[in-house]
Structure 1
Amino acid sequence: MARGGQRSSQQRRSRGGNANKSGQKHRNEEGIIPVLARVVREVESAVQRRSTVLSVRTKFQVVALLVREERTRVKSDPSLSDSRRGEELKRLDGIATILAQTAARDSTLFTLLGEDAEISDDAKHLRRELLAKAGIEVAEEEPEPVPDEATIASSARRVVPTSVAARQLASPFLVPDFDGARAPVRPQRLAGWELLEPLFRSFERAPEGSAAVMELPEPTSLYTASGRELMHHQAQLVASASAGHRTFLLADEPGLGKTAQALLAAEAADAFPLLVAVPNVVKTNWAREVALWTPRRNVTVVHGDGEDVDGFADVFVVNYEILDRHIGWLGRHGFRGMIVDEAHYIKNKTSQRSQHVLEIADRIRTRTVNPLMMALTGTPLINDIEDFRAIWQFLGWIDEKVPLGPLMAALEETGLTPADAGFYPAARRIVVDQGIVRRRKIDVAADIPARRVADLPVELEGEAGRSIRKAEAELARRMVERYDVALATRRQGSVVEGIDHDLVRQVATWEREDNAAKTGENVFEMLRRIGQAKAGLAADYTAQLARNVGKVVFFAKHIDVMDAAAETFAQRGIRYASVRGDQSSTVRQKEIDSFVNDPDVSVVVCSLTAAGVGLNLQVASNLVLAELSWTDAEQTQAIDRVHRIGQTEPVTAWRVIATQTLDTRIAELIDRKAGLAARALDGAGETVETSIDVQTEALVALLTDALGQRG
């Protein structure tokens, strides 16, 4: 959405390039700012009337984006005098304050401001329209071409492995399967209604006790064809696939055997050849699971350009990072099913990863009617209810704008519209019945011992501790200064007694947005420094655990923290393994095997991102979280590498928290954020803030405390 033309020409227009024309308006009525002021008032009025239809949300997002752009331009424009720059920034701050106050009335609007928020075609069109009203020329945007087969085949980065080409030559009749094709379902009574937003909101409003589990049949057997025993909840899903169901969002809590269920569902549906898209760190593990649960099926793992791919295999395992190279042949290979593991990885629809997955899924559906499509994730909701969007689209339940097929037909049959209160529980039930399966350990695997998260407070001493506390104070001082300036430039009549919490949130948002351009301390760098300062203390505690209770898993986010821990273990004579993101699959598996199988290897030092998904480390029952993550989902995924089916000991996660620092605030925010999935999927009935941005909230807490201390 880059603004066309040179900024200099825009600056002349926005500052009154027609100054010599007769009938010139006052300069404060020129440019983009007065246009944004009018639109933000429209948004404010609509939200006050409790109207947050899609058009209002689009206006809110576009105004916020343009305010951000204009602030950047004004701050960097050398032709502006200091007084003029200050005046322009004050006017923009006023618009931003209205945005913050409006979003406070409907917290879901905050999701539109995230870095990964989707910019719809409607938003792009409105942006161009507002710029045109401001007299700013915008270059025409060329639509992105849809690649045809020839384009894909000729792409320099894309490959067709030799074995795949041989398979295609050996099977020249891989034509699309049109048997059972169904006519598209078009909206009738619901035509003209915005439906996707109400569907998402229906999960946000989930009443207590309304768990998200489709109706599942009773299994006729708990044993696989190879004689392996299943748990009852696993056999239920396989029975559903046997009965003909073909789309599943399998959102069981981590540790309940989703991989086995997916592979056995593919066996029941005869969905081979089967494509499995996974994070790189679990490719090898998936190959092992195929051999374990479906031993009659051949599996091939796609690495690099795919020189070693077996084009005649039944199961193809490929990691997200190389989909771009293989998207051409994957889309026309004749797959009858596709599994996306750790499906929350595709939640950002603007990412290449998500776009590749969605493109392949669409092409599979054009060649195979009713293929098996499964999205696997124990943490489907990380930041907001709309994390569902890309997953639902992968499953074929929705497209960019409307529900599809059976989902649309079922909504039509309700006789309700989003204006009816009864629409929301009915819509939620209908979506769940499309294939959402969410079971909790406490409900289906009561024999798994309990787990607990135990906070381990530590005090940072010496120069490192003093430096961190000083940096935190400087960050707070800078935000207080910014708050005071914004407060002083408020229009008359908008004064709030005491601390203006709406303005606090806006200042925190500005601070977070400006982080990338700052050379001083920011919340991201501070959290990293806290992690570095905690590294030795966390490693020391891990060493004590290893001496007393046996094997321990040590999790950290940053390489330098992992290095410091490894050095401590080496000095103590403690043998350790290491799982990091820069390892090859072979090296990573060798390290995991040494920890699991060698009794003398007491500790495994793991990256939260590289080892937080898809691994089985249940040989340990204690883990140490040396650094905090930004989401509860990441923390939960790490804990569930240990707390899973087969665990015989109670699990304790020791969370190391630096007292009197941002660490304590962030820990509290992560715990608050944990309620999103509980409400939307587990029917916990608890009130949660669905759009909490932990970075922003940490800054809000820091600024609020600083303002409170000065009285």
Structure 2
Amino acid sequence: MKVSAEQPFEIVYSLFSHEYLGLLFESFAVQLDEKGRLSYAYQNISHVNAKEFAAGLDDMDYKLIKWMDDMQQDAVVKKFNTKKLKAKEFLRKIYDPKTENKIIQEQIEIKLEHIRAKILEHLPGKRLFEMGNDGYPTWKEIEILPDKASVLFHFRRNEDNTHYFPTIKYGGQKLEWQYKNAYLICHEPAWLVLNGQLFHFEKNVDGHKLKPFLNKKFIVIPKSVEEQYYKKFVKQLVASFDVYAVGFDIKVERSQPVPFLCLSELASTPKKDLFGNDVGESEEDRIVFDLQFNYGDYTFRAENKVSTNVEVEKIGDNYIFHKVIRDLSKEKYYTDFLDKLGLNVKNGRISQAKSIGFGWINANKSVIEDLGISIKQAVNAQGKRYFIGYAHISVEVRENIDWFDVHALIKFGPFSIPFQKIRKTLLQGKTEFELPNGEIAVIPHSWFVNYSEMFAFMEDAPSEGEENKLILKKHHISLAQQLQENNLVQLTLSRKLEKLKDFSQIEDYPLSPYFKGELRPYQKAGYNWLRFLNEYKFGGCLADDMGLGKTVQTLALLAHEKEQNEGSTSLLVMPTSLIYNWELEAKKFAPKLKILTYTGTQRIKDSKRFAQYDLVLTSYGITRMDVDILKEFYFNYIILDESQAIKNPGSIISRAVNELHCRQKLILTGTPVENGTMDLWSQMNFINQGLLGSQGTFKKQFLLPIEKHYDVEKAGKLHAIIKPFILRRLKSQVATDLPEKVINIKYATMTPEQEEAYEEVKSYYREKIVSELGLPGLKNQQFTLLRGLTQLRQIANHPKLTNKAYEGDSGKLENIIHMVRETASEGHKVLIFSQFVRHLAIVREFLDQENIKYAYLDGMTKDRQGQVRAFQEDDSVKIFLISLKAGGVGLNLTKAEYVFLLDPWWNPAVEAQAIDRAHRIGQENKVIIYKFITRNTVEEKIMALQERKMALADGLISTEESFMKSLSKEDIEALLE
């Protein structure tokens, strides 16, 4: 019968018995009569039509209705009924003894029990009825009692057997519930209907433990199975519920938990590479912290969060049940306290590398012991015992004449350990050594973090009679100062050396009268810095931005050296293309310097001649060939310009310059890091040998943490060590008299033919590279990747770069042609850079067709200066085509107003150098840069990756890491999407 939602009604819930599914609930709307009583008009409601009766529903009603829908036969069989039978037919098949499926029956019952428990938990406050046989939903009302009933399980043991039965109390009154037609609606937990009332129970009693007694007074346990029954069933009952026993004892232990951390070892596991392959090395052995609690004579692990534990003891013919009631809230207090101290034992156990774990003990032992938490060691099969007392290190650094003396005191409890022994252990990467009492001491992780660089850089004293004395070279001053700032060492410095800590405090040195010209304020500050390094015999790296005048600052220093050290000779090594520029600049700013240009096939190979000059200019190529001649002479200064030429420490030129002899060293570069962090080591080791330790030490201490793990803290330490010896100023910081530089991105869209060519090559390499990623070794994969990405970049420019037979157009070339026409017609001068000479050839072909005059420079150009002069001085030459390798350094092109970068480079620092050909001192125009990028190609993805990969390297010297080396598997797949 339809119920009107416009008239008074009430929502009720009704219980009925399903033929197969047992007791189920249904929801109904029942119309009320004029006296507010339930009428015979009712309507079944579901979550589909419930909103029609919204006036009588609250939030809980909506949930109850949905849960009841979920237990109806159509909803229950949906998951299992793969053959799409009617629900009734499916259930008949599943429950028929001849065709039954016990597994599905069990799964259905688990689901229904879960829903019943959820419904019953939320029914209080609602009206519940038993449904009549005729389907009438409000046949007999069931009162839902508000409080929980209690169950007491009784055991009476005698000589022959044990009687077992439960009693129920509600409100302190014992219930007569057996043989009363009581029934269970739900078993887990138990909900019992008795005399029209619905009972639920304390401690979530399982209904299966009550069901046998609905029509039975007690159960008899025969003597023959008594022991097994006691140790399994009765033990579990005693642990979970209230039990009254006659004939055996139950002893209850109630006490406060006494916490302790149990230490045990965990075997090391092999390290994996990026692709999950074993790399041979093993991680540091680990220690396991296992939080446990003592209650009297009983011990429980924190991960076993059971409020009550029972053990059964049989003495003769008697049984004793030992019941321990745990204080889980107190146990949680200890767990949370340890978590706040950095030991996350919320799951009971945690494993840590030994150095970290024992470092934690060293830092927190007194705190946890004050709280009553002790530390115990598990018995080791080898009888190994660890020292778990207090470990302490104190280091004092004192300035000596030529170095710092290092004094260190190491203590493990009562034992003072020779510092040399600890140092060797640290350098070997080991964490353990044996104490005099046989215990194993583990060096705390914090010592590795705080002192590893210092320990790596320390050396034995060179003086005789000081065999056990350790020293630190003075060029490690910043490392000592950083440790002092962190209260890790006591440092004693002279007032003068303190100045190196703050560049701004360096005194003002006068310029030599041999220097002709003026220095801008920042250039004068650079000269002061060079003089300060000279005074302390430190090597330096002048790494100012391109165009800020590294040449003139160096010439000011060399002029001073001529004045102070008449008769001494300095050597200046550079790329061949820069020699002529240095000759011109020296004549202009230091005309009194006697200069020998040691180049060409006609050079006189006699080192004695060098003494007749103040400055010898030569190239890296000549140095490599004539190293045996050059190393015969002791120079005053050896200066390397564009010192990134020695970035590879294993190269012939790098080895050659390190064989030369001099009093002082200086390097000049705008990009000290081009490929990776090792570039930095090579150049820093040249100017201050040992500053960054050995090559192997540097790789372990800095290169791997920075390049592989993006360790910002290590990058910061490296920066601190090199900071006093690298001076880098950006145009934005110091050259405020430079005009504005504007960078624009000019995006192009591929033509259909170009896109087809691009996709064909991309698909080929994607399949090839991704299939190679799972193979061991990365060199071949990197070669394939580089080759593939290079081809894709060339096609993004113009497919003709890879396929001379290509007949179609290029979207980027169309953009370039448009921009060239526009700028040239307006009389502007433009630099056009590309690293692909074939790309320049395509642009050159267009310029020839249009009769646009241009200068051109690539690696084959003989008259470089002639091309530069034509662009700088001839107003009719508006365009300068330049290849990256030929024109990246050594050019002053201040007449340019526009710079076109035709393709993005792996190294953004090189891109910046190209821009700096125009944006440098002497430029009077605003410089506008256009970067041409082809959309939906690898060019866009390279730019995005550059921004992410540059973050750590920027923290060193504002240059980039090796782009290829830093690519992860995910990066490679993204590039080839």
CA drift of 1:510 comes to: 5.7
The 1:374/1:341 distance shift into structure 2, 3 A limit, reads: same
Amino acid at match of 1:609: K
Residue number among 488, 512, 536 corresponding to 2:782 in the alignment: 512
Cα pair 1:472 1:661 within 8 Å, conserved: no
Residue 384 (str. 1) matches residue 673 (str. 2): no
The 1:426/1:609 distance shift into structure 2, 3 A limit, reads: closer
CA distance in 2, matches of 1:538, 1:610: 25
Cα pair 1:657 1:663 within 8 Å, conserved: yes
Cα pair 2:514 2:592 within 8 Å, conserved: no
Q: Aligned residue for 1:91?
A: none
Tell me, what secondary structure is at the counterpart of 2:634? coil
CA distance in 1, matches of 2:770, 2:726: 46
Q: Aligned residue for 1:45?
A: 283
Residue number among 314, 317, 330 corresponding to 2:614 in the alignment: 314
Structure number having the greater strand percentage: 2
CA distance in 1, matches of 2:581, 2:502: 27
CA distance in 1, matches of 2:847, 2:894: 21
CA drift of 1:623 comes to: 0.5
CA drift of 1:620 comes to: 0.9
Q: Aligned residue for 1:599?
A: 875
Alignment of 1:235-274 (within 5 A): 235-243=524-532, 244-246=535-537, 247-270=539-562, 272-274=568-570
Choose 1 or 2 for highest CA Rg. 2
CA distance in 1, matches of 2:767, 2:713: 49
CA drift of 1:552 comes to: 0.7
Deviations along 1:668-693, one digit per CA (max 9) or x if unpaired, are: 223334444531246xxxxx9x7553
Alignment of 1:26-45 (within 5 A): 40=278, 43=281, 45=283
CA distance in 2, matches of 1:47, 1:306: 64
Residue 527 (str. 1) matches residue 801 (str. 2): no
CA distance in 2, matches of 1:376, 1:214: 19
Cα pair 1:305 1:325 within 8 Å, conserved: no
The 1:424/1:628 distance shift into structure 2, 3 A limit, reads: closer
Alignment of 1:378-457 (within 5 A): 378-398=670-690, 401-402=693-694, 428-429=719-720, 431-433=722-724, 435-457=725-747
Alignment of 1:350-365 (within 5 A): 350-360=650-660, 363-364=661-662
Q: Aligned residue for 2:805?
A: none
Deviates more, 1:224-233 or 1:301-310: 301-310
CA drift of 1:250 comes to: 0.7
Deviations along 1:532-582, one digit per CA (max 9) or x if unpaired, are: 446744651334323225111111112212222222222222211122222
Q: Aligned residue for 1:329?
A: 629
Could you say which structure has the greater relative contact order, defined with CA pairs below 8 angstroms and 6 or more residues apart? 1
Amino acid at match of 2:895: V
CA distance in 1, matches of 2:766, 2:963: 18
CA drift of 1:39 comes to: 11
Cα pair 1:539 1:569 within 8 Å, conserved: no
CA drift of 1:471 comes to: 0.8
Cα pair 2:643 2:667 within 8 Å, conserved: yes
Q: Aligned residue for 2:920?
A: 644
Deviates more, 1:654-663 or 1:390-399: 390-399
CA drift of 1:449 comes to: 2.3
CA drift of 1:184 comes to: 7.7
Cα pair 2:570 2:637 within 8 Å, conserved: yes
The 1:260/1:423 distance shift into structure 2, 3 A limit, reads: same
Deviations along 1:627-666, one digit per CA (max 9) or x if unpaired, are: 2221111111111111112222222221111112111111
CA distance in 1, matches of 2:729, 2:748: 36
Q: Aligned residue for 2:411?
A: none
The 1:699/1:642 distance shift into structure 2, 3 A limit, reads: farther
Amino acid at match of 1:578: Y
CA drift of 1:225 comes to: 4.5
The 1:240/1:332 distance shift into structure 2, 3 A limit, reads: same
Amino acid at match of 2:508: P
Amino acid at match of 1:678: D
The 1:530/1:426 distance shift into structure 2, 3 A limit, reads: closer
Tell me, what secondary structure is at the counterpart of 1:669? helix
CA distance in 2, matches of 1:606, 1:424: 35
Amino acid at match of 1:650: K
Residue number among 750, 753, 777 corresponding to 1:460 in the alignment: 750
Deviations along 1:465-507, one digit per CA (max 9) or x if unpaired, are: 4212221122223345556xx4xxxxxxxxxxxxxxxx9xx99
Tell me, what secondary structure is at the counterpart of 2:826? helix
CA drift of 1:280 comes to: 2.3
Q: Aligned residue for 2:760?
A: 470
Alignment of 1:178-217 (within 5 A): 192=424, 194=427, 214-215=503-504, 217=506
Deviations along 1:439-488, one digit per CA (max 9) or x if unpaired, are: 122221122223233111112325344212221122223345556xx4xx
Q: Aligned residue for 1:663?
A: 939
How many residue pairs match? The answer is: 480
CA drift of 1:508 comes to: 8.4
Question: What's the C-alpha RMSD, in Å, of the aligned pairs?
Answer: 4.3
Cα pair 2:512 2:556 within 8 Å, conserved: no
Deviates more, 1:322-331 or 1:214-223: 214-223
CA distance in 2, matches of 1:649, 1:48: 64
Tell me, what secondary structure is at the counterpart of 1:655? strand
CA distance in 1, matches of 2:508, 2:282: 54
CA distance in 2, matches of 1:456, 1:524: 21
Amino acid at match of 2:570: L
Q: Aligned residue for 2:897?
A: 621
Cα pair 1:479 1:507 within 8 Å, conserved: no
Structure number having the greater helix percentage: 1
Residue 578 (str. 1) matches residue 856 (str. 2): yes
Tell me, what secondary structure is at the counterpart of 2:882? strand
Cα pair 1:595 1:604 within 8 Å, conserved: yes
CA distance in 1, matches of 2:975, 2:676: 27
CA distance in 2, matches of 1:341, 1:665: 34
Tell me, what secondary structure is at the counterpart of 1:522? helix
TM-score by length of 2: 0.44
CA distance in 1, matches of 2:755, 2:728: 43
Q: Aligned residue for 2:845?
A: 567
CA drift of 1:696 comes to: 6.6
CA drift of 1:240 comes to: 3.5
The 1:610/1:552 distance shift into structure 2, 3 A limit, reads: same
Tell me, what secondary structure is at the counterpart of 2:933? strand
CA drift of 1:624 comes to: 0.7
Residue number among 642, 652, 675 corresponding to 1:342 in the alignment: 642
Tell me, what secondary structure is at the counterpart of 1:563? helix
Q: Aligned residue for 1:697?
A: 967
CA distance in 2, matches of 1:537, 1:187: 67
CA distance in 2, matches of 1:257, 1:556: 26
Uncovered stretches (5+) of structure 2, i.e. residues with no partner: 1-271, 288-400, 409-419, 428-451, 458-475, 486-499, 696-711, 800-809
Q: Aligned residue for 1:228?
A: 517
Q: Percent identity?
A: 22
Cα pair 1:453 1:653 within 8 Å, conserved: yes
CA distance in 2, matches of 1:423, 1:705: 29
CA distance in 2, matches of 1:610, 1:213: 39
TM-score by length of 1: 0.59
Amino acid at match of 2:690: I
CA distance in 2, matches of 1:264, 1:679: 30
Q: Aligned residue for 1:73?
A: none
CA distance in 2, matches of 1:481, 1:423: 35
